[in-house]
Chains A and B, each alone.
Chain A
Amino acid sequence: MEDLMNNKVELLVNYIMKNCLWQFHSRAWDRERQNREILTWTKNILRGDAVEPTELLDRCHWVDAKVLAHSYQEHFPWINDLDKAEIDSLMTSVHERMDFLTITGSKNLELTDQHY
């Protein structure tokens, strides 16, 4: 069961890595914000809970999330069968994995370089 969940997480993470750019901003704090905002919006869109934002900065995160959620639903149709709790759990794992790959586990020395 855990393996199945991990496989699903890896599929979703791999999709982001292959098709998105928003996760690779140049500073650690910027990546934290990008991952948090866009993946939270994605989760809420998949749950059917998202309310379209009006602020420009929020809308920018929202459009990345909107396209990602749509792609997930198209490429991984099993996601449409999950209930809200399962989506929460799945997207929490995706978020943790993305934070690891792009921030806490990243080998990119520039992320925390104060002189960059």
Chain B
Amino acid sequence: MPHHEFDCSTCIPERKQHAVVKGPGETIADALPAGYLSTIPGSISERGCAYCGAKHVIGTPMKDVLHISHGPVGCTYDTWQTKRYISDNDNFQLKYTFATDMKEKHVVFGAEKLLKQNILDAFKAFPEINRMTLYQTCASALIGDDINAIAEEVMEELPGVDIFVCNSPGFRGPSQSGGHHTICIAWFKDKVGTVEPEITSDYVINYVGEYNIQGDQEVMQDYFKRMGIQILSTFTGNGSYDDLRSMHRAQLNVLECARSSEYLCNELRVKYGIPRLDIDGFGFAPLSDSLRKIGLFFGIEDRAEEIIRTETARWKPELDWYKERLRGKKVCLWPGGSKLWHWAHAIHEEMGVEVVSVYTKFGHQGDMEKGIARAEEGALAIDDPNELESLEAMYKLKPDCIFTGKRPGEFAKKIRVPYLNAHAYHNGPWKGYEGWVRFARDIYNAIYSPVHQLAKLDISKDEIPTESGFVTRRMQSDATLSDDVKNAPELRQYTGKFDVIPDLRNKTALDYPYLRQDSLEQLV
């Protein structure tokens, strides 16, 4: 498996160690990109910082909390409302964010008084919220502000208030991944075990590494409840601060994004003996296996099989409609850390697309092992690419669509490559059986977008067809399909609703007959 050198990066020879091509018959023991290293000077990275990783990815999805950054307002601006981690309390944590707005004078004279006043003001402004997460930034860390001491002072002055301190300034690690690690360990050390939960089921899990992007957590929560499982906490999407303090009482940690939160599961396993089960919530087969394993763990596998049977019968014909029309299309999986391996195999098997490249902005070598192992031969695997490398890869590989973040997504559009937002989604949720169909629908819409087809023409040099009419998606996608496929009565396009989350939130106890009666009463 040879390392790959980009033409644009020959002036940065170290970059060659960060990309490989998966050759025929080769394995991850033949070559692996370097990973989780500081970005090489001169290579303009797409990464975020450790503060961003701690706050933006992991801390802020907690829903019933005042999230406050101690630093210049720009740090908070960059983490505010840019990700769609919704919550069932009217998105409180998305609507409100707080910063101490440090200025030059605070750097000179200290900003602890400013911090304390901001904390008091925030609690005063939202008296119904008595939980807070407090984040260190580069500026406040460098001047040595003792934010732990301020938090202690406030907790003494305001009984009933609880504050979690996260010391993860931007420079604490090569990327946002350093922040994931820091906040996981801090939460485990400072908060887990400080609340005793009410156990309402014989089957109790923590759902870890799930951030409720456009409702992913609520989709999975529905499956778990249908199986009669109590979700003690979700780390952290749609998660509650106090629920997450009681993680030590679960029987099983169900781990979705190992990249961001395996640290927490490993600590819970060592200290409390709670096993860690890594799962995939994406893709019919991987999700079915995941539900099956959780069912087997608790001895309720028949309940899992019931869900698998029902959901597959409902949604598989729709997935297959898109598969027939996406077969052979080339895609790049260019997410942040974990989706390259969550998706690499399932999307190839179940949607028929060819994954020509996987990359990770902040993943470790372990993520590349998973991603390359799951990708097919010929895939180009890149660690921490810069913009020029991404452009070169797109010109060379000519993907029909890429799945990535909004920064590379924007320059992809400029070279007429459609992109879907892998972090925040387009029309999610994408987890679950219906979600996987929605993902396929979004890919279909991106690749066959009539507007996008028109955008491929350059009016400065291309001949603009004036004789032909408007070409719809369906006219493009069905042009080469056989009549048998085109007219297959069992296949159909997505028939779900525009927004699937309200129906989940409107469910009552009657929809979850396996949950115990005392639990049901709380749900009604």
Contacts and interface: CB of A to CB of B under 8 A. Distances in A.
12 contacts: A19-B285, A26-B262, A56-B252, A59-B297, A60-B297, A64-B293, A67-B289, A102-B369, A105-B29, A106-B29, A107-B32, A108-B365
Given A21-B258, A101-B28, A106-B369, A57 B275 contact: yes
Contacts of A30: 266
Shortest Cβ-Cβ A-B pairs, 5 listed: A60-B275, A105-B29, A107-B32, A21-B278, A17-B373
B275 A21 contact: no
Given A19-B289, A106-B369, A108-B369, A56 B251 contact: yes
B273 interface: yes
**Dominant SS at the A interface?**
helix
Contacts of B31: 107
Size band of the interface chain A makes with B: 20 to 34
Contacts of A24: 258, 366, 369-370
A22 interface: yes
A100 interface: yes
B207 interface: no
A66 B289 CA distance: 10
A110 interface: yes
B292 A67 contact: yes
Contacts of A107: 28-29, 31-32, 365
Contacts of B249: none
Given A56-B273, A110-B366, A101 B29 contact: yes
Q: What is the interface of chain B mostly: helix, strand, loop, or mixed?
A: helix
A63 interface: yes
Interface of B: 27-29, 31-32, 36, 251-252, 258, 262, 266, 269, 273-280, 285-286, 289, 292-294, 296-297, 341, 345, 364-366, 369-370, 373-374
B293 A17 contact: no
Contacts, number: 80
Given A59-B275, A108-B369, 20 more contacts: A19-B285, A19-B286, A21-B258, A24-B366, A25-B262, A56-B275, A57-B269, A63-B293, A63-B294, A66-B293, A67-B292, A67-B293, A106-B28, A106-B29, A106-B369, A107-B31, A107-B365, A108-B32, A108-B366, A110-B366
Interface in A62-112: 62-64, 66-67, 71, 100-102, 105-110
Contacts of A25: 262
Nearest to A102: B369
B14 to A, nearest CB: 15
A26 B345 contact: no
Interface centre among B292, B373, B374 (most CB of A within 10 A): B373
Contact of A21 (B32, B251, B280): B280
Which among B27, B36, B364, B370 has the highest number of chain A CB atoms within 10 Å? B27
Contacts of B374: 17-18
A21 B293 contact: no
Of A24, A25, A106, which is in contact with the most chain B CB atoms at under 10 Å from its CB? A24
Given A57-B275, A60-B252, A21 B365 contact: no
A102 B365 CA distance: 12
B204 to A, nearest CB: 11
Nearest to A100: B29
Nearest to A62: B296
